[in-house]
Amino acid sequence: MTALSGITPSGRLTLGNHLGALRRFTDPDGFYFVANLHAMTTKHDPRRLAALTREFATLMLAAGVPEGTVFIQSDVPTHAQLAYLLECTSYVGELSRMIQYKEKGNRPMTRASLFTYPCLMAADILLYGAERVPVGGDQDQHVELARDIAIRFNREYGETFVVPQLNKAALATRVKDLANPTAKMSKSAADDAIGTIRLLDPPDVIRRQIMRAVTDSENEVRHDEANKPGVTNLLDILAACTDGDPVELAKSYATYGALKQDVADAVLAVIDPLQKEYARLTTDPGAIDQLLAQGRDRALDASTPRLQAATRAMGLAGSA
Ligand code: TYM
């Protein structure tokens, strides 16, 4: 069952991105990409985008995403090509209902691409016949729309696309901000935001952030999202990093301090090897280029037949 997923280079990569998505990019036959086209839906700085794209691709390789599966979205033109075809099968009504658009968009100076972005994401998924799409909970609505678009296309133009499955809830699909544990940890937070753990921050900074995480005025370690969001987030992070059960783990702690110490150790045990591998890879930029070229060629070969099928199905001349 082919898996596919992408990460948008719109800020420094966070622990939330890693636990909710990146560490689940394990299918050797999968397709995993830096979604740089998606990073242009709001005002962007070209130089920062280029730097972050490279950083994200290197982090994916450092995280052990299988060789040959990693590529940069804009290197593979089939994504933008299919996105246009899918825009021609999608409705303003359904796109206006997307939560991310409702939160960030719908103003006169909103980029048109923010509105059509879910069509590009559907194209990313449908081009490869992906059935599994490992993403965090904030992307579920987009995967659902990709399903709707596939089903509608198949009905109107003939069987062309595999309908992806809905994301199975995994541990830590919604990691919260450490300073504001009712909001999600987000890479678009300010660079110095203390509640966001960035994968490339120095270990002592990460430890300090965890030790300062907001909890509550009680002193009972209990998994209770509604009443104890800070403690619950720490337990969820610990569980995700140690493959444990957050409710069970709560029973082994008498104080918040002891819990935080263990969360810091567990998070650093996950991040430390990743940082070391990242540092090693960056000493050989040619090797990174080669891996990304390999990923690009494989992605182009795999996606072209389905783009051609969709093009023909829609009645575009010259492609029959
Ligand atoms: P993006 O770049 O916002 O996030 C990348 C992945 O990280 C997950 N994530 C989280 N998981 C747990 N806790 C959090 N706090 C957290 N924050 C982010 C996201 O759910 C996502 O899985 N549109 C996508 C990128 C994309 C894509 C695709 C994904 C483009 N095309 C095709 C899958 C398939 C996005 O902006 O994710």
pTM exceeds cut of 0.80: yes
Backbone angles phi and psi of 285, in degrees to 5: -60, -30
Contacts (Cβ under 8 Å, ≥6 apart) of 100: 117, 138, 142
Sheet bearing 70-72, strands edge to edge: 4-7, 31-34, 70-72
How far apart CA 150 and CA 86 sit, in angstroms, is: 9
Specify the DSSP class assigned to residue 186: -
Catalytic positions, please?
Answer: 104, 184, 187
ipTM exceeding cut-off 0.95 for this assembly:
yes
Sketch out the chain's domains with CATH numbers.
4-166+284-313 (3.40.50.620), 203-280 (1.10.240.10)
Residue 105 tokens, joined: 């968009």
213 Cβ below 6 A of ligand 1: no
How far apart CA 177 and CA 194 sit, in angstroms, is: 9
Q: Would you give per-residue pLDDT tens digits along the chain (320 residues)?
A: 899 999 999 999 999 999 999 999 999 999 999 999 999 999 999 999 999 999 999 999 999 999 999 999 999 999 999 999 999 999 999 999 999 888 888 788 999 999 999 999 999 999 999 999 999 999 999 999 999 999 999 999 999 999 999 887 777 789 999 999 999 999 988 878 899 999 999 999 999 999 999 999 999 999 999 999 999 999 999 999 999 999 999 999 999 999 999 999 999 999 999 999 999 999 999 999 999 999 999 999 999 999 999 999 999 976 44
Q: 288 C-alpha vs ligand 1 centroid, how far in Å?
A: 23
| Cα Rg of the chain, angstroms | 20
Atom of ligand 1 nearest to the CA of 35: 30
196 Cβ below 6 A of ligand 1: no
